[in-house]
Copies of this chain bind each other. A is one copy, B any other.
Amino acid sequence: MGIPKETDMEIKVGGSSRTAKERPKGALLVKNLYLSCDPYMRGRMRQFHDSYIPPFVPGSVIEGFGVSRVVHSDNPNFKTGDIVTGMTGWEEYSLIQEPQRLRKIQQDDDIPLSYYVGLLGALPEMGTSCCFNGWIGAHGLLTTDVYRQGRTHDLNLGTAYAGFYLLMPDFYEVCSPNKGDCVFVSAASGAVGQLVGQLAKLHGCYVVGSAGTDQKVDLVKNKFGFDEAFNYKEEPDLDAALKRYFPQGIDIYFDNVGGAMLDAALGNMRVHGRIAICGMVSEQNLFKPQGIHNLFHLISKRVTMRGFLQSDYLHLLPRFLEDVISYYKQGKIVYIEDMSRGLESAPAALAGLYSGKNVGKQVVCVARD
């Protein structure tokens, strides 16, 4: 059903057009250290004109969030050796034409650099200048066969749409968590879920997570400290599972998956419940997304459901970073990464996201420094 496969991407050796000799004024050349693998990237593998982020161009280097080191700067705001984070290419070296979109990182021995695409990740800006013209595929979702046609350069994918979901400073904005609230988090061991659950616990909420393997369930309960967790693949009836963990209903559902889990949660919301729609990984590979049948509960329970993108909440980023770094240094939160080594491991790492192979935030280490 359109799940990206390792073979949909290709490693190419040789100069890419993005690291061309003629550098535009003010550009940076960076060495990429860590690349982020995120479910939204599947969305960019199909053509979808109406999205907030453009499709990938078949035949071009994949774009993604990363941590990089400046190796040459034509820009007065950056110098060689600076560590930066933002949109970069899935390649060893990238030419960054709009360095104002990057954020400089102040290195801290206690914070792994890779955390800047995970625990502390936030894009400084999203915008149309990432846009590529020349899309060559058909409309709508593309089959694997179609989007494989575009393979020519470096590490390539074919196609695009998006549902960006890195870490969310807006959990508080959207969900207004109160002490004692009953919170449900799906994909609870993932890049976002693990942090949301821990922050909710720090707020005094009762927190239950779902995950897709017993190993992840164990992690959610024993490492991340959720009150409860369950393996949704072993639950024949998701509605019954939620009723077991939330006999009084759910105040906040932080939805990372959509589909059947969202439907089950809708049927178990409490009056004035809040649903934050952060991602719909279960839908991203489907030609026709699964139907949601329980929306009438929005009325009887007066539920608010909101989709959001972190890019709307960048004003909260400084506070978010301060809080989370402080919690992390005090040992009040932990963060689990699934690190794969080498650019050549990237296709498998990205593809693994869609079958739940990763445990924690999936990162590719291209180089250590």
Contact residues, A246-298 vs B (CB, 8 A): 258, 262, 271-272, 277-280, 283, 288-298
B308 touches A163 (CB 8 A): no
Alpha-carbon distance between A258 and B292 when the two chains are bound, in angstroms: 12
Give the contact-size bracket for chain A.
35 or more
Chain B nearest CB from A280 CB (Å) reads 5
Is A180 an interface position by the 8 A CB rule?
no
Which residue of B165, B296, B299, B308 contacts A302 across the interface (Cβ within 8 Å)?
Answer: B308
This chain's copy number in the assembly: 2
Q: What are the residues of chain B within 8 A of A303 when measuring CB–CB?
A: 306-307
Is A132 an interface position by the 8 A CB rule?
no
Is A52 an interface position by the 8 A CB rule?
yes
A258 touches B296 (CB 8 A): yes
Chain B nearest CB from A240 CB (Å) reads 14
Is A309 an interface position by the 8 A CB rule?
yes
Known contacts A292-B291, A306-B305; is-contact A299 B312 (Cβ 8 Å) = no
A307 touches B298 (CB 8 A): yes
Is A162 an interface position by the 8 A CB rule?
yes
Is A304 an interface position by the 8 A CB rule?
yes
A307 touches B312 (CB 8 A): no
Alpha-carbon distance between A308 and B277 when the two chains are bound, in angstroms: 19
Q: What are the residues of chain B within 8 A of A293 when measuring CB–CB?
A: 288-292
Which residue of B290, B299, B312 contacts A279 across the interface (Cβ within 8 Å)?
Answer: B299
Contact residues, A301-343 vs B (CB, 8 A): 301-309, 312
B304 touches A304 (CB 8 A): yes
Is A300 an interface position by the 8 A CB rule?
yes
Alpha-carbon distance between A301 and B161 when the two chains are bound, in angstroms: 12
A309 touches B302 (CB 8 A): yes
